[in-house]
Chains A and B, each alone.
Chain A
Amino acid sequence: MSWKSICGATQGRGHKRKNLPCQDKVAQLEKNGVHIIALADGAGSAKFSHFGAECVINSVANFVADNFYNLLAENNGLKVKQQILNTALNALSGEMQMHGCELADLASTLLLAAADEDNFFLAHIGDGVIGYLNEGGLKVASTPDNGEFSNVTTFVTSKDAQAHMRIYKGALKKITAFILMSDGAEQSLYHKRTGTLAPVVVKLMHRTCLIAGNILTPQIADALNSVIAANTQDDCSLAILARPSEILPPINFLPISERQQLFKITGNFLTRRTRNKILLCDEICNFLKNPATLRQIARIFHLKILPLKKKLQTLLDAGVIVKVGSHYKIA
């Protein structure tokens, strides 16, 4: 099963008050069969860090996609770190010219996760958290690098960036999802004392697998803005890369209450009427594992075109199915 990704960033309350832009930037990329998510948190004191963060994630994500297999094959970790840093710094030198600023004005952190069908690669400079999910549950791959004090961290532009950079690679085995989060989101999703992630992260990973990106993206944006940002002054961002597995199963494996929520069906599922509505959606989703046209679906389920079209639109709005040309299929 293929990887899917989702990401989002929202301006923090502190930045809203000071009328500063959101300095957290996120990116998702699929290239050469490699799926990548990247996140950078621009330094609060650097005036163009929002440009720097954007530049770093785009340049490094493309570099990792183009050189994924070389990076996996390279046994010299220092060389890999230097290649990534050089990529970021070369791209930032262009930004320096464009904005007529110093390198330090573009300071940001960097978090990246890349995976093909069998292997993964992670890179991390600064604060924020990289987590993953496998059969053993939610784990933390890379913890925040904050030094002793709260407002101190390492940036891509720091002199000691290479020494503080952490990289990880390996076979995926049963790893089925990765999450990147900035320190703003970390406040709500990473328990600092125990070094563990909030269990709700699994739900976010699962939804990444089940719901179409165009529907889930605004939901993630709203969750960041209305829930996570309420717990910090800082910008908040996260990026998730996930693929279906036994741990993140298809919709029909979920409890009926969760399926009802996903299908956006109201009413009590204990009543026959509501239960039947849910079961019909189950069957449609099961059928749409292979793409089908409106008429093909109508024929199979013995439904008239108009009510079926309405039902399919509900499922499209819920993001559990997508329409590609004249064909519907599961998201």
Chain B
Amino acid sequence: MNDLLKQQDLVNNPQARVPVCLCLDISDSMNQIVGGETRDTGRAEFRDGQMWKIVEGGVTALDEMVEGVRSFYANLKEDEVASFSAEICVVTFGGTSPKLVMDFANLNLQSEFPDLTADGETPMGEAVNLALDCLEKRKQEYKDAGVDYFQPWLVLMTDGAPNGSKSELERACKRTSELANARKLSIFPIGIGNEADLKTLAKFSPRRAPLRLKNMNFKGFFEWLSQSVSRTSQSMPGEKVELDTTKIPGWAEL
């Protein structure tokens, strides 16, 4: 034991936070079957801008994404530093409007990630605006509480193209571009499957090109993301955190 200092003599400053916002597409098209055994019902329906053959059973893109997000949480909780630093917020877009599924909080205080249901349209612009509003609100809360924080991250995942309000989409692209150019936001646009509109995704991200997820490998992507968040949470002033690009080909088509 040290005579000069004891832990109880020290001030208790909270650990610097890494705010991460996941902005996830749960429009009807995320019900597409990507694996598992299926049985054809013989029916077909027009949903989310496309004609779909209706089947029973199988694993949907949404199932894979939810499992990926849950593994993201689990990986971060296992990391000594990231479990206290990382804060995740989840915004989904489906139906007619975006929804805040999980607001920012310490990982250990957040409830379990819920099951999601895919339906409706792709109001992507509205969702990104809601995500940015949540980020701004959280940053202000950090400032008010004297909590240091790292540059926020925004992950945008979609399997299609936006079909919400055009003005909201333009406003969202402008906001993310301005923040990314000012190095105040790291944005990761990820296309799911061949129908994802990478050209629109690129409009959100002037500094980092969108990537297309390979073979629905959500798990690979979220594993890479948790490792990147973990490295950022341990970085120190003046330390430039390089993303591990060598592992990207494992989950993305380059």
Give residues in A with beta carbon < 8 Å to B.
Answer: 12, 14, 41-46, 49, 107, 109, 126-127, 146, 148-153, 155, 183, 187-194, 198-200, 203-204, 207, 219-220, 222-223, 226-228, 230-231, 233-234, 261
Contacts and interface: CB of A to CB of B under 8 A. Distances in A.
Contact of A200 (B9, B81, B150, B239): B9
Interface in B215-252: 232, 234-241
B212 to A, nearest CB: 30
B238 A155 contact: yes
Contacts of A42: 238
Contacts of B148: 146, 149-150, 192
Nearest to B18: A150
Interface in B145-173: 145-151
B83 to A, nearest CB: 14
B149 A190 contact: no
Given A207-B4, A228-B5, A191 B146 contact: yes
A324 B139 CA distance: 58
A193 B145 contact: yes
A146 to B, nearest CB: 7
11 contacts: A14-B236, A107-B238, A126-B237, A150-B16, A151-B235, A188-B11, A192-B147, A198-B9, A203-B9, A204-B5, A223-B2
Interface in B113-151: 145-151
A149 B238 contact: no
A233 B81 contact: yes
A66 B72 CA distance: 57
Classify the interface of chain B: helix, strand, loop or mixed. Answer: loop
B4 A198 contact: no
Given A148-B184, A150-B16, A203 B238 contact: no
B109 interface: no
B179 to A, nearest CB: 11
A151 B145 contact: no
B2 A222 contact: yes
Residue of B81, B184, B234 with highest tally of chain A CB at under 10 A: B234
B239 to A, nearest CB: 3
B111 interface: no
Contact of A234 (B5, B11, B13, B236): B236
Contacts, number: 106
B: interface residue count bin? 20 to 34
Contact of A151 (B2, B4, B238): B238
B7 interface: yes
B51 interface: no
B2 A226 contact: yes
A155 B238 CA distance: 8
Contacts of B9: 198-200, 203
A126 B236 CA distance: 13
A148 B148 CA distance: 8
Nearest to B139: A148
Contacts of B241: 151
A219 B10 contact: no
Contacts of B146: 191-194
Given A189-B10, A193-B145, A233-B81, A44 B236 contact: yes
Nearest to B240: A45
Contacts of B199: none
A43 B239 contact: yes
A44 B11 contact: no
A218 to B, nearest CB: 11
A153 B235 CA distance: 13
A126 B231 CA distance: 23
Nearest to A261: B3
A14 B11 CA distance: 21
Contacts of A192: 13, 146-148
A220 B4 contact: yes
A191 B13 contact: yes
Contact of A44 (B4, B6, B149, B238): B238
Nearest to A222: B2
